[in-house]
Amino acid sequence: MQLWLLMILLVSVIDLVDSRLPRARFRRRGPTGFFLARIQKQYDDDYDSTEDSGSSRKSTVDGSRRRDEVVNDAKCLQKCNNQLNIGMDMVNAHMAFGSIDVPSVVEKRDLEMFCMLDYQHSQCIDECGYSVQFNLREYVCRNRFPEMLQHLPCYARAAPALIRHCRPRCGGYKALVHTQDGYSQRCRQLLCDHTCSTYILKRLCPDETGIAASNYLLEFTRLQVDYWMKDFTKQSKSRIPLTCRKVQCRDFKLANCRSTARRYRKRVVDN
């Protein structure tokens, strides 16, 4: 009997000690990239198969993708933008160009990834029924891709100085407002960013590489602003802001612009 009681007491003590010992901590393993990709694909499949009872969109002729499967235009476009933003997180960028929309990538790999993501984004919004008015992929990724590659070392070298000097002077990037005042403010910031960046690039990049790199940025901006103004004057009776006209002028002076930009003369407003 005493032996039996002793065994019971021993078992009780062991249980008590075990209950007071710290439990092992196990870290849950995070999901792998393949697992996340599978979840994303399932989400995309579910999203594309969702039908909106209030949608009145027509089906495409070839049946490649039924328009009535898209919830609505806004959500379809938002989905494309979200996918683009997720992909852009993998692109290494210096963000030193301010309001200048040329991709601020660091290396060739980043530029190639940017171009691929932008191409996929264009396809996505095309399937949503939208069209791209001005696609910088055509300028940077197709028409003048080799030239952009040549300028990458200069841009990367000057990026810290551009951020340090031009951003406090000209301000950070802000979303464009498609109004007369919005275009005027954006063009004013573009004038500041180009003046500052041209000065920095010429000083920090050797020989003529700085001049070529700054001209590349300016030619892109002039093409972009030209597209903006053509679309703006078609949709609105407002006159073209003076700041946007100056973008097209040599040295940003109207006296150097009148002979080459007469189409703007009658539609200019001083603001």
- Per the model's pLDDT, the better-predicted residue between 268 and 172 turns out to be 172
Task: Report the range out of 17-21, 25-29, 264-268 with the highest average pLDDT.
Answer: 264-268
Over residues 218-225, the mean pLDDT reads 95
Highest mean pLDDT among 59-68, 82-91, 131-140, 229-238 belongs to: 82-91
Q: Is 102 helix (H, G, I), strand (E, B) or coil?
A: coil
Give the separation between CA 2 and CA 86, rounded to whole angstroms.
Answer: 72
Q: Answer whether residue 51 shows pLDDT above 50.
A: no
- Minimum mean pLDDT range among 12-26, 89-103, 195-209, 215-229: 12-26
Per-residue pLDDT for 21 more than 50?
Answer: no
Q: What is the mean pLDDT of residues 62-68?
A: 45
Please report the pLDDT score of residue 56 as a whole number.
43
**What's the half-sphere exposure (Cβ side, CA atoms, 13 Å) at 138?**
7
> Which letter does DSSP use for residue 68 in this model?
G
The alpha carbon torsion through 104, 109, 113, 119 (nearest 10 deg) reads 90
Q: Where are the domains of the chain?
A: 68-269
- Tracing tokens 């062991």 back to the chain, one arrives at 14
* Cβ–Cβ under 8 Å, residues 136 and 105: no
Asked whether the predicted pLDDT for residue 181 surpasses 80, the reply is yes
Per-residue pLDDT, averaged over 177-198, amounts to: 95
Higher local confidence (pLDDT), 38 or 99: 99
| Residue 125 clears pLDDT 80, i.e. is over it | yes
**For residue 146, which of 227, 203, 216, 214 has the smallest C-alpha distance?**
216
d(CA 246, CA 251): 9
- Residue 238 reports pLDDT greater than 90: no
